[in-house]
Structure 1
Amino acid sequence: EEEEDGEEAGDDKAGSRLLTEKMAPRSGLPPLLVNLSERKPERLHYLGVSYGLTQQLFNFWRRNGFEPLYLRQSASDTTGEYTCIMLHALHNPEVSGTQWLQPFAKDFKTRFTTLLAGAFRTMPAALALSILDPKLSFSEEETQRSVNEGAAIVRMDGKPLDAYDLKRLQAYSNNLVDYHLILDLLPHLASAYLLGHLPATLSYAQAAILLSLGLQHRELAEVEEALSLPSNQVLALFNKALRKLYSHLRAAKEAAVERSLPAPRAAPALAPHEVDVDAELDDAAAAVREQMRSKYLRAEELSQYAIGGGDEEFEAATGGKAPRAGGLVQVKSSKEGAAAAGAGAGGTAGG
């Protein structure tokens, strides 16, 4: 109760002061406005702009480094324009770099590709491509890097494209079936390409057709009217675009299969011969001759053809004279004497 009485007494005093206060200019207050040169600039992280989306205004802000982050899904009742918010990151010592804006811009583009089939179905393809700003030209190194890393295109059921899907794309690329057979694959292919996941070089018209048919789900007649092109030219450009996308997907699939195979064994290093071929053949022939000589020209086999008798017996047979040409000289064989000696020794032992 004492506290409540104190609060009521304080309120009465404040009220009495307001009643008795005299209104007069106060002195010693800081100025409300100062010169811009005297005020320290604020440290800003970004600049933002909001406007009714048109092609000209979007191009202007895009050239000045602004990125779209929000697009209202309902058009204005007055102007029929969609409200767009774009940001431009500024260099700030409190923030390391300006790359913090890119993840937000990337997320916006991903959601925008999904909304093109609904709220933004009637948006001109040129304006939609300006918002997505896809890269249409790729180098061979970028394409090969993507092939090696693999291109995963996910269907509505959460599974990647299978062999049957690639077979349908191949059939349409070879002009064997109508484009209606692959319409279910178009949203995934168009979204993957326009978001930079399929690095295949396409023309601006091919990208516009891919966006109109794949993301906005427009009819062929609507695309013809929007692009001011005849139907046969639209289908021809569309077929060329799908052929390039299929070639990239097939190359990525083949690279994945090749990576799953076991690595081939390294071939042994071949060193040149130290000896030339002719010398090697001569050495081999000499070795064969030596082998045949040692096999067939044995001493025990040649001994049966040896001439018996010594020099004395030969002189005795010739009478110390040279034999006539073609004459015969008979020398007593040592084999007969050896045989007779052997026989005599055998008889003595027996007796």
Structure 2
Amino acid sequence: MIADLAAALGDEARRANERRALVLTGEREDCYAGAREALDAAGISRTATTLVADENSDGLDCERITPKHADELLGRTRGAVVLDCHDECRPNVIGRTVGAVDGGGLLVLLVPPLDSWPDRRDGFDATLAVPPYEPASVAGNFRRRLVDTLRAHRGIAIANVDSGTVECDGLTDPPPREQRSEPAPPDEHGFPRAAYEVCLTPDQTAAVHAFESLREPGEVLVVEADRGRGKSSAAGLAAGALAADGKDVLVTAPAYRSAAPIFERARELLSTLGGLAGVDQDETPLCLDAVGGGEVRFAKPAVATEQAERADLLVVDEAAALPVDRLSEFLAAPAVAFVTTVHGYEGAGRGFSVRFRDRLDDSEFAVHEQRLDDPIRYAAGDPVEVWAFRALLLDARPPVVPLVEGATPETVDYARLNSEELLDDEHRLREAFGLLVAAHYRTEPNDLARLLDAPNVSVHALLSEDHVVSVALLAREGGLSEDLRREVYEGSRLKGHLLPDVLTSQLRDERAGVPTGQRVLRIATHPAARSRGLGSRLLDEIRATATTDWLGVGYGATPELVEFWRRNGFSTVYLATTRNERSGEHSALMLTPLSDAGRELRDRHARRFVERVGATLSGALAALDPDVVRAALGATHVTAEVDLSDHEWRVAASAAYGPGLAEIHPHVFRALALCHLTDADSDLSAREERLLVMRVLQTRPTEAVADALDYVSAGACMRALGDAYKPLVDRYGNRAAHDERNRYVDGGE
């Protein structure tokens, strides 16, 4: 039964140059026996097969990787991938594995009986059931939806190995395959002809040709494509050609594995041209040296920002998986290529386009675009790709602009979106999730399951004419038992309760987990309706209907984001002392109270933040963007105390108005700077506040501060610092300070 089915599927897949999926349902041991039979019948060798399964699985005498390491399949091509879903069904793993199957190959899913699968609880469900919830509280809606899509989509065969029956044969009887257009080198080209002769589609040829514009500075190229279109290979061919021409090509990506095809194609081209001088001998070469002095080298995003200016060209692979502020830093390079996936696990091209294109358009670069649509690994319209896009909502989109462009806070309706209702309303689910994908670079398939199933997660939205124009995902946190709070305080990690965990374990507050709260995991507004107050309106509705003690948020701090949360009543309680390796930003935690218990928690930690931040700013946070510091301190809702003696006040006044020197008593001026920056009323310009942050709080060298803030000299910078302290002495100083000031003002009168 399975042999005949798999043979027919494999034969049809090869004739159409498409993939097929074979779902084997039943007990694990029987599913593995069926998989072995299917692979043999389909003529797929074990050497071309990868099993993705738990370490304790029976195996198939082939390459095996665990679900935790399924990202190793990104960028690879396999004849078959067998995914065992008995122990856990993790959406991210499905997203990582589907794209690795080559045209003519099989995706084999080993699953429990389909009718009962949604009601079972597995290892992934356990990650969604954060305390105090148990796995039984997980809804199972994602798997229910997954089963429905498996049964509904063409090209997917379903066989029950327990009963020996075939529910669906998955055969589509495709029409004869159209011959793919043969690519040809462009009539005029600057790259070597060999770079074009290996291109597999006209799209890929056009993409390589587009890279030629980056031979000169001042150019930016944006290359977008779905997975399997050869965009990274095109970037690699271009990188090899540029290195052969003596260029220093710097490549960055969220992880080296994403950029591996770039290095493979660059190495092959340089070898063909006889221009490969040397290779790093590691298994994953991080640097290719060309004979003419050029090179192709890799750096992590945080390092690439520091090296971008010195390279001739920067290639950013999977750009949509990186935050906008990090992408903006890459514009320090003379020329930049942003290569990104439009739909897929690696990132959302729409978010990249919506959030970053404005910055590109405002830059001094000439911007070019290139899109690749023709699949390389399999034929266009491949049914397994179509199924994966729908099952994981990889192609989810916000509402089209005309439907929401007139939305204002006065015209929208608030709704809490029930997960069961979303499961039954595909259109609304796609709109809500599409907004999250477009707005957040980290939104991934696991978030779809979290939205549909997690018992501590709720979905809130604003609707314009019944279309989702703004959406927020919230997670319930806190309300922890005494035993659990003690465990966290003594060193245990607590997943799913970010704010109580940090406040308890890092900030040593064993009572922080007592109040209950809701943390904003994601919030997004349609690009066509931003800057109208819709996000604030949504937060107001959430606040008005909440039954918890506080609302909170944790995010990579930028001045704009801190200001948004401050305007909505959130107070800074924490700034991470290390940068997130992926985003390059320091995480901020903020709270707004909803009850007396929440207010006491907010006030306690805002006060402690103000008390400790001075020391961290001159240490671990000495390089933090001064505008982030200004925004974070301005959002504390607690004004730092200035407890100075009369002598110290005279020191401050004499440095501001007379011949005194601030360097002799730095603690005096740090106290005044913190007091001003945490005060709601400002007497200084933004430039003066940056001067206080950089020179006084972060103790950066005067010359560096003068250069960063465009003062003509270090002396001018120090004179400006003295002037900045005058209104602070006037505002906060006591009688001793004012008497000292008057000695130097108006002839001492």
Question: TM bucket by the smaller chain?
Answer: 0.3 to 0.5
Higher relative contact order (CA 8 A, sep 6+): 1
With normalisation by structure 2, the TM-score equals 0.23
Higher helix share: 1
Higher strand share: 2
